[in-house]
Amino acid sequence: MLENKRILLIVAGGIAAVKVPDLIRRLRERGAHVRCVLTKGGAQFVTPLTLAALSGDKVYQDLFSLTDESEMGHIRLSREADILLVAPATADIMAKMATGQADDLATTALLATDKPVMIAPSMNAMMWTHPATQANLLTLQNREVKVVGPGAGDLACGEVGDGRMSEVPEIIAALSRFFQKTQGQGPLAGFRAIVTSGPTHEPIDAVRYIANRSSGKQGHAVAAALAEQGAKVTLVTGPTAEPVPDGVQVQKVETAAQMLKACQAALPAEIVVCAAAVADWKVEGAGVSKIKKGKAPPELKLAENPDILATLSAPGKDRPALVIGFAAETDNLIENAKAKRAAKQCDWIVANDVSPGSGAFGGDSNTVHLVTADGVENWPTLKKRAVAERLAERIAKFAERNL
């Protein structure tokens, strides 16, 4: 997907700039044309000569170069590329991008471009989580700037946490997914997928309901990742504040019964991912009027909700080729996930710990284990978006071999 793509690589001043030479090399191996803009800070970590030798092109540094700017170099650089990639993207350059500053060649090119922009953030964990950085990140995302990473791990400052720039293969994969999406291609092109997400709300009366703490972040991320791999995705979601991902069809529901009906209406499909946290029970005979407070609490009789995962996994002519469930557990995670996979007759289970303190419900990160017929894969703690991308890549490999 990177063959003949023109990438303007902006190298800012962070220790992760030492990864840039390898990034350039790997991009060129895939047929991409790379042109570099090196900031003053970036030049403290990697030399212009190194970048020029690896990219096979001139390295641009000076906004006030008489030679380059006689041809309006910052405009030409920003317009001749297919995408602008900032790697590493420091807190400083993210802030400048968010506020529209243009005090050097890199930020001027970013402000003058009419092409897509992708950033690979890299900074200290405290800097990454600072409200100012997170506000700048949200601003950039709202402007459709693509973000890859950061990951968690050992940082150059000696601390451990979020802020580590994504590894070179992850950045290349993100670029490939972007071009696949824009060109309507991808390994899952031609395949249909159904993804469930969010909680369900089971009414008690006209104003009260039974629910859970699911935010829908993981399910929505899975839908987005499958769409980026080229699949035609139907997202069936319970009530959530998460925005609808680009390129998916959405069916909004409230109850488990409505969710099952919407999933069945979306069949046939080759892939189903049941990431929703469906309420196991509903109130039998829930009324349309508000229950008035009395001397004693009302007695609520519970009835079992339909089992969406088991229903979609049941053998039959409409059964999807790959059915994946999620198992949110507080105890005996792997054992319960294996038992759930067997009981529901699904193909894979994504098991995650939702015990108090895990931060899974409503948080941005997840620690999951993929349970299949071949065993258990223990994945590291990742952003939910990264979990979704990794799962989508596994699905794509399955489809290539089996569908």
Residue 71 has pLDDT above 60, yes or no: no
Q: What does the pLDDT look like over 322-364, one tens digit per residue?
A: 999 999 888 899 999 999 999 999 999 999 887 766 555 667 7
Q: Could you say which of 157, 181, 205 is where a domain stops?
A: 181
Provide the pLDDT for residue 9.
96
Q: Identify whether residues 160 and 202 lie together within a single domain.
A: no
Q: Could you say which of 134, 155, 181 is where a domain stops?
A: 181
Q: Identify whether residues 248 and 353 lie together within a single domain.
A: yes
Q: Identify whether residues 132 and 229 lie together within a single domain.
A: no
Q: Identify whether residues 62 and 105 lie together within a single domain.
A: yes
Q: Give the whole-angstrom CA distance, residue 400 versus residue 183.
A: 20
Q: Give the whole-angstrom CA distance, residue 187 versus residue 205.
A: 46
Q: What's the number of domains the chain is made of?
A: 2
Q: Identify whether residues 77 and 120 lie together within a single domain.
A: yes
Q: Give the whole-angstrom CA distance, residue 168 versus residue 299.
A: 58
Provide the pLDDT for residue 10.
95
Provide the pLDDT for residue 236.
98
Q: Give the whole-angstrom CA distance, residue 341 versus residue 356.
A: 24
Q: What percent of the chain has pLDDT over 90?
A: 62
pTM listed for this prediction: 0.61
Q: Identify whether residues 213 and 336 lie together within a single domain.
A: yes
Residue 366 has pLDDT above 60, yes or no: yes
Query: Is the separation of the CB atoms in 346 and 371 below 8 Å?
Result: no
Q: How confident is the model at residue 296 (pLDDT cuts 50, 70, 90)?
A: confident
What CATH number corresponds to the domain at position 279?
3.40.50.10300
Average pLDDT, the chain: 89
Q: Give the whole-angstrom CA distance, residue 147 versus residue 168.
A: 14
Q: Could you say which of 160, 181, 202 is where a domain stops?
A: 181
Q: Identify whether residues 260 and 307 lie together within a single domain.
A: yes
Residue 1 inside a domain? The answer is no
Residue 73 has pLDDT above 70, yes or no: no
Q: What does the pLDDT look like over 266-282, one tens digit per residue?
A: 999 999 999 999 999 99
Active-site annotation, residues: 157
Q: Identify whether residues 62 and 158 lie together within a single domain.
A: yes
Residue 297 has pLDDT above 90, yes or no: no
Provide the pLDDT for residue 349.
98
Q: Identify whether residues 264 and 337 lie together within a single domain.
A: yes
Q: What does the pLDDT look like over 184-214, one tens digit per residue?
A: 567 898 899 999 999 999 999 989 999 988 9
Hey, what amino acid is at 347?
A: D
Tell me the sheet residues that pair with 302.
283
Residue 67 has pLDDT above 60, yes or no: no
Tally the C-alpha atoms within 13 A of residue 352's C-alpha that lie toward its C-beta.
26
Domain of 285, in residue numbers: 186-402
Q: Identify whether residues 55 and 193 lie together within a single domain.
A: no
The whole-angstrom distance between residue 206's C-alpha and the CA centroid of its chain comes to 36
Q: Give the whole-angstrom CA distance, residue 135 versus residue 144.
A: 14
Q: What does the pLDDT look like over 86-117, one tens digit per residue?
A: 999 999 999 999 999 998 999 999 998 989 99
